[in-house]
Amino acid sequence: MTRIWASATRTWADQRLRGTTCPSTAAATAASWAQPSSSSRAARVTAAVSRGSSLTITRIPVGPNVTPLGRAGKRRFGVAATPDPLSLVGMKSLRLLASCLLGLALAHAAETPSTNMKETTDPKAAPRAIIHTTYGDMTVEFWPDVAPRTVENFLKLAREGFYDGTCFHRILKGFMIQGGCPNSKLGAKGQPGTGSPGYQIKAEFNNRSHTKGVLSMARSSDPDSAGSQFFVCHGDASFLNNKYTAFGKLVDGEKVLDKIAAIACVGPERSSPTERVEVTSVEVVGEKKPEKKSEEKKK
């Protein structure tokens, strides 16, 4: 299959034939290059030639792997019998992709949990903890259904008093407040933010969104490097979804969260608070205590 291309340039180039200044001769040359079934194309080229004084006519093969010549990929004075089939396939693919993305967006909107901090699950099924700080108390309800190991680890550390005397060492207003590092205790050695309980736990990424009040585990670049450090979101941090383990949410103490987040900070990241916000203790509440076996009746 052959396509006839006409160019108004007078320059010489390899594998190009320069047309004559006589329109009739140029038209005849164009017609001789066209296949028998391409008489209509030759007629169109003849008409185009008749409007110019001098043309360069180039014979270029046509096929699915041939790209038409032209600036920025645009067609130049080409005579195409049918649209490029690849372009039609691309348009259909784009329509299909757009439909899929719209469906996913609607499904995500339906599944995204509410950002209302007061919304809770059954208190009998979800354990809670009260984070007592020098700025007030924050009550957390945990999500053991999506992050059971992470919840149990936090409760274990809280029962052992691990968090007592730590502080929120990193604060970014509108983003989050971070604590749980043993190096943040008074008199402790090591840089705050680098400490751990001496072990790491595996990540439990889930579909809970990082919205204001959500409790999540801090970690290094290794997904399975979390230990004791946690953070409480102070705004929408949905870009952390499925990258950090969300395992609970505040059900009380939003004003305390706002008060802590409003502390002036310094440092290169502007995240080192100028006032110490200490965690005095973490009180675990709402746990089911093991039932005691009834004493055997004395005979």
Q: How far apart are CA 142 and CA 133, in angstroms?
A: 19
DSSP string, 98-144: HHHHHHHHHHHHHHSPP--TT----TTTS-EEEEEETTEEEEEEE-T
Q: How far apart are CA 131 and CA 117, in angstroms?
A: 16
* Residue range 196-231, pLDDT digits in tens: 999 999 999 999 999 999 999 999 999 999 999 999
Q: How far apart are CA 278 and CA 178, in angstroms?
A: 12
Of the options 3.40.630.30, 1.10.3720.10, 3.40.50.20, 2.40.100.10, the CATH number for the domain spanning 128-285: 2.40.100.10
With contact defined as beta carbons under 8 Å apart, do 269 and 192 qualify? no
**pLDDT given at position 287:** 73
Tens place of pLDDT per residue across the chain (299 aa): 433 343 333 333 333 333 334 444 444 444 444 444 444 444 443 444 344 444 444 344 444 443 333 333 332 232 333 333 333 344 455 566 666 677 666 665 555 444 455 444 454 557 899 999 999 999 999 999 999 999 999 999 999 999 999 999 999 999 999 999 999 999 999 999 999 999 999 999 999 999 999 999 999 999 999 999 999 999 999 999 999 999 999 999 999 999 999 999 999 999 999 999 999 999 999 876 555 554 444 44
With contact defined as beta carbons under 8 Å apart, do 58 and 7 qualify? yes
- The per-residue b/e assignment along 256-271, b for 16 or more CB within 10 angstroms, e otherwise, is bbeebbebebeeeeeb
Question: In 10 A of CB 173, how many CB atoms?
Answer: 17
Query: What's the predicted TM-score (pTM) here?
Result: 0.58
How is the chain split into domains, by residue range?
Answer: 2-80, 85-111, 128-285
With contact defined as beta carbons under 8 Å apart, do 260 and 235 qualify? no
Mean pLDDT, the chain, integer? 73
